[in-house]
Each structure stands twice: as C-alpha cells, then as structure tokens.
Structure 1
Amino acid sequence: MSAAPTLNKLQRLWLCEAIRLREERAGPLEDGEANRQVRAAGGDLAARIERRALLLAERDGQVQALRHWYQGAQLALLALVLLALLGGAGLALAALGDGLRPVNVFWALGSLLGVNLLLLLGWGLGLLLGGDHAGALGRLWLWLSDKLARDARAAQLAPALLLLLQRQRLGRWALGVLTNGLWLLSLTAALASLLALLVTRRYGFVWESTLLGGDSFISLTQGLGALPALLGFAVPDAELIRASGDTALSGEAARHSWAGWLLGVLVVYGLLPRLLLLLLCLWRWRRGCATLRLDVELPGYGLLRERLQPSSERLGICDVAPARLHQPLAGSRALDSQGALLVAVELDPRRPWPPTLPQGVGDAGVIDSREQRQHLLEQLTRFPPARLAIACDPRRSPDRGSLALLGELARSAASTRVWLLPAAPGESIDSARLTDWHNALDRLQLAHSDSAPLSWLESGHD
C-alpha cells in the first residue's frame, strides 16, 4: 500500500467522510495493512482516522475518483459559466429590443433585475432561516459534476461533501459563492451587452401607465437613481421624466440621461449586491475551511478507536470478513529501508529450510499461521528491508490469501523478488499450476524466478 496522497485539508476530510459512508452502507472494509501503517505512524486519534481513510481511498481508487469528480465539477462549472454569460446577454437584448420601438424603462429594468432580485431575496431568507440545502443552481452543479465524472467509485463523494459541509455549516457559504458568482457573471455580461447595444443603436425611452400618474414615476425614478447618482450616473430631472410619459424624446440629452440611469440602476442594485455577497461568502468559506476538524465522536469513527489507538496490543483477533475484497497489488517502500531478508510462505515441513544465507541476510522463518503473518508484518512496518525475497512452493495453488500476503509483504520493502522453489528430488511441479503462479505474480507486478536470489539479497544485483 502506497503512502497517503498529498491532498489539502478539505479533500482529506472529504475522503474520510466518503469512507465512513461507504462502511456504514456496505460494511467494514478490509483494513489490516492500513491499520498497521497507521499505528506505526502514531499521532492522535483524528490523525490516525484520517491517515487510514487516505490509505484505503488510495488503495480502492477513491482518490482517483475524487480527481475525476473534480474534473467533472470543473466542466460543470464551465457549462454554468457559459450559461450565465449567454443568459446575461439575453437579458440585455430582451430589455432593449431591436431599437425599432421605444424602450419602456421600467419593463427594461424588470427584465434586467426582476428574476435576480427575487432569487436574491429567496437566498437571503434561506440564509436568515438557517437553511443549508442546495438551491437549484447547487443541485444542477452537483448533478452535472456526477454525470461528467463518469466514475462509479465517485458515487459516495457528492453525499459525503454535502454532509461534511452541512455538519460544519459551510454548505450555505459554498453555495453562496457559486450562486452569487454565477449571477455576478450574468449581470456583468448583461451590463457589457447593454453598453454595446447603447453604443451601436439609437434607443428612445418612455414610461407608460394607466393607473399611475407622472408624479409617481418622478418619485420612483429619482428614488432609484439617488444611489447611482452618488457614483456619477445620470438621473433624469422631473421635466424630462414627465415628458417621457407621452412619447420617446428624440433629443440626445434625454437619451443619454435615461441610458445612464438604466446603467446606474443595474450596477447599484444588481452587480454591487452580488459582488458584496460573493466576497462575504468567500470570506466565510475560507474562514470555515481553516477551522475544519474531524469529528471523532461520530459513531463510525468511534468504532475505530480500539483498532487504531488500542489500549493494549491483543493477539489472535480476527476481523469479520468483508462482503467484497479488494484486488491485492504489490508495491514498494523506498524510504527508511535497509538490510536484506528471506522469508518463506507455507513450505512443506519436510523441506530443509533455510538455505545457507550470505552474511548480512536475515532469516524471517516460515509463515504458516495468521499470528506469524501479523507479527512479521508488524515488524516490517517498523523496520522495512531494502531487499526482500519470498520463497513459495509452486506445488500449492496461488490462492487469493497467499497473493494478498505477497502483496502486503512486497509493499513493506523497497524491492521484492519471489523465489518459486524447485521441486525436491523425485518430485515434480505441475506445469499448469506453475503457469498460474507466473500469471498471478505478473498481475501483482512482482519479479519472480526459480533460481535462488541469494546473490541479489547480499549485494543488490545478480
């Protein structure tokens, strides 16, 4: 098993939550090797739980699935960004039209800001009421991320992320960054499109009403324009507003005044609130991420306490077999390794053992029982050898348990070779079974030979 991958704190806790959910729903994972490495590394319980989760996630492919999910999330975000930009341009076109007819200023304003203000109000109420659920944009983004990830191992990642963020009360701020950021892009695109249309076309502006009189529109227009006026945007005077109620004024000053008022209202009541809320959500998100901690009191983590931080070492305990075993893979441990070691697995007791070993090569004996296996693996975890030779009897079938043991032993050494022992005098080895051994060791990516690797053990080369 390789070392825990380098991930940021949020990703590590995210994988912890994904492993916890997976074990809650599918039963305990086979974690003997991971637990040994965790106990050897030490640390408090939270650090041990985190390291165990990362080792299991790396072994079972969930780290790679997380990377695929990130790629899918980026593609989904890109799609939403494009949708926001196109939507913003569409808002500007819907507000101003083709220029052949006068623009009703309040219909235009409603087209530009109506939906935005309604959704902003809904998001604000949800925030005040303590809601932490994914809104429409959040659900769409998560759904697209899962679809674009195309990795069945990523099935637990989205629920794990939501649970982690909800437990830390960060979901609202994450979704706030997403929602306000997309709306800010959309309104920026609307502003840019509005400017482009106003520069390239001539528009006349009117207001129309059956029930409301000119005084009401004067008050409303100047009231909305008060804040934009502080930023230098034009505001139509009372006479201009009253005159625009009958027909679109053709004067250049009137068109400039109404255009400046429309742009100022869009900036002040559309872009600025979204920008400020985006900065607020981003600040709260980063502050919350800095304080993220693993909740070791959760039931799924509490069960790991004795296995990862035992009060005393106990021998002979056998975990319940999981419903689904992982495919054992070999590997190497390049750091903190020294010396050479020979070990045999399930040899016939009548075979003379060990052979005469060169000086400096240790003999780890023959592994015949679970207790011997556990003891040797614990020792190799603490003191990994630079070279390890594993002797196997090819007359036995390469069963799953033996191959899993070879993989664990190989991951405890910097370099490993398997010695397929020749038959004793008067005996023979079945060719089909020997082929099975070769194929199995090739799948494990373990070097193997039927000649004694004693020179390699002594010097590191044949």
Structure 2
Amino acid sequence: MTAAPTDHATSAAAPPSPLATALVLDAVQRIEAAGPLDDASALQQAFHTQPTRAAQVRQRAWLLGQRLGLQAELARWRPVGWGVLLALAALVALASLGTARAVLGEGRSINAVAAFVSLLGLHLLTLLIWLVGAVASGGGAGSWLGRLALWLTARLPPDRGPHSLTLLQSATALLSRQRLLAWLTGAISHGIWTIAFALMLAVLAFGFAFHAYQLTWETTILSPAFFERFVQITGALPGLLGFPVPDAAAVQRMGTVGGQAAAGGAAQSDWAWWLMGCVLVYGLLPRALLAAFSIARWRAGARRMAEVDMADPYVRRIVQRLDALEPPPQVIDPEHRPTAAATPAPALGPPGAPGSLAVIGFELPPEQAWPAPGLPPTPAGSAAPLRVSGSAAERQQALAQLAATRPESLLLVVHAPSSPDRGTARFVREAARQAGRVALWPVAAAAPSAAGEGASAGGETPADTPAIARWQRWLQSEGFSALAMVPSAPAATNWIAQATPQHQPEPHAASPAPTP
C-alpha cells in the first residue's frame, strides 16, 4: 500500500483528479458526522494556500484525508480493482467458453437456432435490463456486475484501510447523485462482456475451422416458415457486413434429413458464418460500443465532480470558520486618531458618503476602452475612474485611494472572458471593505464602433451569458453575497443611480440634498 505523503510541500499539492477530490471530501464529511476532527492546522494551511473558499474547503478535506489514509486507500483500490475486473472477466469468459463448448459439443450436429439463443440469450436479457435501468434512472443506477466489482474492490484485502467501506459508501452515493454510477458500472460490465464475446468468437472460429459441424434446425410444433423468417431477420445486419446468410432454400434443405445429407460444405459454411456474424453483430459490437460510450460519459461527468456545493450546511460551517481567519478591518474611532505629533496619515472620509462613487477597472486588456463606455460621468467630489493593471504597486495604490475616500458605491469593472484567480479574490475582498456597496461588471472587448453589429449604444459589447454565469458562480463560491452583479452598462448605470435615494437625508436635515 502506498503511504500517504507527509511533507508540507507534498500535502499542499493539488489533488490528482476531480474524482479523488470529491471522494475524499465526501468521505471526510461522513467521518466528521460522528464528531469533528482536529483540523486547525489543515484549516490554516488551506486558507493561506488556496485562492477561493471552494478550493480551501477541498484542500482542508484533502489534508485531513491524508492524515486518515484516504488517499492511500484510493491508491490501493487501483491494483485491486484491476485484479477484480480481470477475475470477473475471466469468470464470464469461462462461462462463455462453456456455452460455446456446449454448443459445439462432442457431436457434429448443431441446432442453429438453439445455438443462437444459447450464445446470445443471456447477453440480450442483461443488456435490455441495463438499458431500461439507465433510461429510467437517468444514469443513477448501475449494473449488478459493475456494482459487484466496486464492492469486491473495497472489501478485498490486502492491507484494507479502516475507512475503505466509508469510501465505498461515498463513491456509491456521490456517483448516484451525479448520475454517473450507471456509466462507471456500465463501462465495467460492458468491458467484461466484450472480453467474453471476443473469447467466444475465438472458440467458435477455431471449432468451425478445424472440425466439420452440421448446422440444422429441428422442431415439433414450429413451421419451416418461422425458421426462414428467423434466419433472414437475424442475418440482415451481419449481411451488411459481408457475412453469408442462408437463403430460404438452404433453410428448407436443413430441415429435412435428406437435405442435410445432400448439403455440401459450402452450405454448412454459410450457416457457420451466419452464427459467428450474429455473435459479432448482436454480441461483441454492442458491448464494445456501449463500453466506449460509457467511458466517454464517465470521463465527461467526472470532470465536474470537484465542484463544491456551497449551500450544503456542512460546507457553510467550514466557510464560516474560514471567514473567521480573515484579518479584521481596521476601524479608526475619533478617540483613537493619531495626534498632531504622530506621523501624519491620509485623512479618511466618512464611510459611504452620500453620492460618492469609485470606478476601478481591474486587469482589463490593453484594447479595452477606458473609462468603460456607457457609464455616466462620475459625480462631483468623486475620484476619476482608475485602471489597475494587476501589479502589486497599482493594487496598493488603488486600495490606498479607496481607504482615503471611502466611497458610498464602488463599481469594479473586470474582463468577462478572463477567469478570476486568487489575486482577484484578494483585491475584491480588500476593496469591498472600503465602500458602502459594491458591484461587479464583467465587460467584453470594446466594440469597433458604437454602431457595430451586436454593440450597445455606448460602444460596449455585452458579455456572453456563460462568462457572466462563471463570474456569478465565482462570487457565490467566494462568499461575496453582498456584491451585486451588473451585466451591462445600463444595469451599472441603474445600480449607481439607486444609491443616492437610499441615503438621502430626512426632510428636516440641514444638509443639502446630494447631487443626483
């Protein structure tokens, strides 16, 4: 069993896959249902090494999982799982081999229709059950053969860890919720059946190549027309691939003793190829294609498994503890202000002064017009729109300006096609402390002209919906619930205009009304 890494650099490394991350997170949650773990070190390390709250939650679980041996247990599953898969494939292949040997038998006469049912009957029945289950459950159910493989992988020694069954429960529950269990177990089951049919075809081809068999049909109550239709219908698809299909005369001839005796080797060869073609088309190919399709669906869905449900009560409790690690904002009361003899500091304006506005463009591309088109002029007494390229010096300068002015409204303009990172989250969090209300406006590249196709009246090209949705998910994952999202220049203008009426003084106040 592979030992879990213990050094700091390794433990802080990113998890190897979304599946492993999701399994460890779910398993840690199940373990903590019996009582919280001592996670002070893991919580601190996750807070200081990961950019977002979702990533911090994952990293905390990953570090705790290393201490509990969950990663080592997952590493043990890989060789054991392959061994279980090969063992099950061998058992199904031996059963298929026995079926093929029973069909060929010691004698030289084979009932063709009975051989078809023997070789393909169980396969078609289990395939129909899997298809019905996959459609009815939407991918939540799994095949019994695949579930058996997972169960054996988790329970078989050697060196089974104490949390092996917990990981099995997490895998089953998580894959069912994500509608991926049917695709994982289906890939296992169809892969086993594919191996079995490949071996079955090899046995049939060897037997027909080196022994002389006579394929016939016998019946007591069925008519010859039934067998004619059966052979023609079942041979339609193999015939498209070039397999010979016995015609009506051949079927009639094989149903009589005289015809069987008169049939030559070419006629028997057509029957043998028909049977092998049916096994290939109705057995091997469907299983191989379904195995490939299940693997593709599984891989596509597994990439989404690392997403953290930020609404889960368990996750929200961890997020609250992570929020508590944030340094408290500096509050300067009048009685604590520095004296005249002390080092002079920039005077702080009143927080949320009515009508004050700050507009900051954060890490916008060089081709982006600035100030952003479509916005109204900044109110009197407000600073001019500021553009921050992303360097540490410019960020500190922007934060210092916000701390000095303390605007009522802060509009952060970001590049919609870009992906927010750790630095973006830190800047937004620090800037939001200096303003009464904050909004985020993801903008696309500026349009070539105000009249260009798809551009707004202000020359701004609206950001596409997926980009807006990505930034919205990021705000939720970071816990920025108080930040507003404005998708366009008119929406930003309306958001700015909504601030002043909310902060207008009462009619009896002596101060003048703010400039609209």
State TM-score, norm by structure 2.
0.58
Q: How does 1:213-292 map to 2 (within 5 A)?
A: 213-247=223-257, 248-249=260-261, 250-292=263-305
Unmatched runs of 5 consecutive residues or more in structure 2: 1-5, 329-516
Taking only the aligned residue pairs, the percentage that are identical comes to 37
Amino acid at match of 2:74: L
Q: Tell me the alpha carbon deviations over residues 194-223 of structure 1, each in whole angstroms, 9 at most, x when there is no partner.
A: 111111211111111112111221111111
Residue 319 (structure 2) pairs with residue 302 (structure 1):
no
Could you tell me which of 44, 62, 65 is aligned with 2:52? Answer: 44
Indicate the residue corresponding to 2:124 in structure 1: 117
Q: Deviations over 1:262-289 (max 9, x none)?
A: 0111111111211221222122111112
**Count of residue pairs brought into register by the alignment:** 312
| More deviation, 160-169/2-11 | 2-11
SS at match of 1:129: helix
Deviation at 1:41, TM superposition (A): 1.4
Instruction: Give, as a single letter, the amino acid of the residue that structure 2 aligns with 1:294.
Output: V
- Rounded to whole Å, the distance in 1 between the matches of 2:292 and 2:142 is 19
- Secondary structure of 1:107 counterpart: helix
Question: Structure 1 residues 219 and 42 mapped into 2: Cα distance closer, same or farther (>3 Å)?
Answer: closer
**Aligned residues of 1:4 and 1:58 also touching (Cα < 8 A):** no
Residue-by-residue CA offset, 1:1-33 (whole Å, 9 max, x unaligned): 632455222111111111111112x21111011
Find the residue that maps to 1:259 and give its secondary structure: helix
- Deviation, 1:63, is 1.4
Kept after mapping to 1: 8 A contact 2:108/2:212: no
Question: What residue in structure 1 maps to residue 28 of structure 2?
Answer: 19
Shift of 1:105: 0.5
- CA shift for structure 1 position 157: 0.8
Between the aligned partners of 1:145 and 1:212, the Cα distance in structure 2 is 48
Q: Distance in 2 between matches of 1:87 and 1:296?
A: 48
Kindly indicate whether structure 1 or structure 2 has the higher relative contact order, using CA contacts under 8 Å at least 6 residues apart: 1
Is contact 1:20–1:301 with CA below 8 Å preserved after alignment? no
From 193, 202, 210, give the equivalent of 2:203.
193
Q: Residue type matched to 2:68 in 1?
A: D
TM-score of the aligned structures, taking structure 1 as reference length:
0.65
- Distance in 1 (CA, whole Å) between partners of 2:274 and 2:146 is 33
> Contact 1:198–1:259 at 8 Å: present in 2 too?
yes
Q: Aligned equivalents of 1:260 and 1:153: distance in 2? A: 52
Q: Secondary structure at the match of 1:202?
A: coil
Q: CA RMSD in A?
A: 1.8
- Aligned counterpart for 1:59 among listed residues 57, 67, 71: 67
- Unpaired segments of 5 or more residues in structure 1? 315-462
Structure 2 residue corresponding to 1:81, chosen from 81, 89, 97: 89
Instruction: Say if 1:215 and 1:164 are closer, same or farther in 2 by CA, change over 3 A.
Output: same
Secondary structure of the residue that 1:205 maps to in structure 2?
A: strand
Change (3 A) 1:65 1:207: same
CA contact (8 A) 2:57 2:315 kept: yes
**Contact kept in structure 2, 1:134 and 1:175, CA below 8 Å:** yes
8 Å contact 1:75–1:148 — kept in the other structure?
A: no
CA contact (8 A) 2:77 2:153 kept: yes
Higher deviation after alignment, 10-19 or 299-308 = 299-308
Aligned to 1:347: none
For the residue of structure 2 that corresponds to 1:103, the secondary structure is: strand
Contact 2:18 2:304 in 1 (8 A): no
Mapped partners of 1:300, 1:272: distance in 2: 46
Alignment of 1:54-203 (within 5 A): 54-98=62-106, 100-130=107-137, 132-149=140-157, 150-203=160-213
Q: Return the alpha-carbon distance in structure 2 between the equivalents of residues 148 and 285 of structure 1.
A: 24
Q: Give the aligned residue type for 2:283.
A: G
Shift of 1:101: 4.1
Distance 2:295 2:74 in 1: 23
**1:187 touches 1:270 (CA, 8 Å); kept in 2?**
yes
Q: Deviations over 1:285-320 (max 9, x none)?
A: 111122332223222222211112337558xxxxxx
AA matched with 2:298: W
Give the Cα separation in 2 of the matches to 1:44 and 1:95: 63
Report if aligned partners of 1:76, 1:148 keep a CA contact under 8 Å in 2: no
Q: Which one of 11, 33, 40 corresponds to residue 32 of structure 1?
A: 40
Give, in whole Å, the separation in 2 of the partners of 1:298 and 1:115: 44
Q: How far, CA to CA, are the matches of 1:102 and 1:154 in structure 2?
A: 52
* Residues in 2 aligned to 1:155 and 1:263: alpha-carbon distance in whole angstroms: 43
Q: Give the Cα–Cα distance (whole angstroms) in 2 for the partners of residues 80 and 300 of structure 1.
A: 38
CA–CA distance in structure 1, aligned partners of residues 294 and 26 of structure 2: 24
SS in 2 for 1:152: coil
Please list the CA deviations of residues 401-454 of structure 1 after superposition, one character each: whole Å capped at 9, or x if unmatched.
Answer: xxxxxxxxxxxxxxxxxxxxxxxxxxxxxxxxxxxxxxxxxxxxxxxxxxxxxx
1:42–1:219 Cα change, 3 Å: closer
Residue type of the alignment partner of 2:148: L
Partner Cα distance (1:69, 1:184) in 2: 23
The structure-2 alpha-carbon separation of the partners of 1:216 and 1:155, relative to structure 1 and needing over 3 Å to count, comes to: closer
Does the CA contact (< 8 Å) of 1:88 and 1:188 recur in 2?
Answer: no
Bigger mean CA deviation after superposition, 167-176 or 142-151: 142-151
Equivalent residues of 2:81, 2:153 under 8 A apart: yes
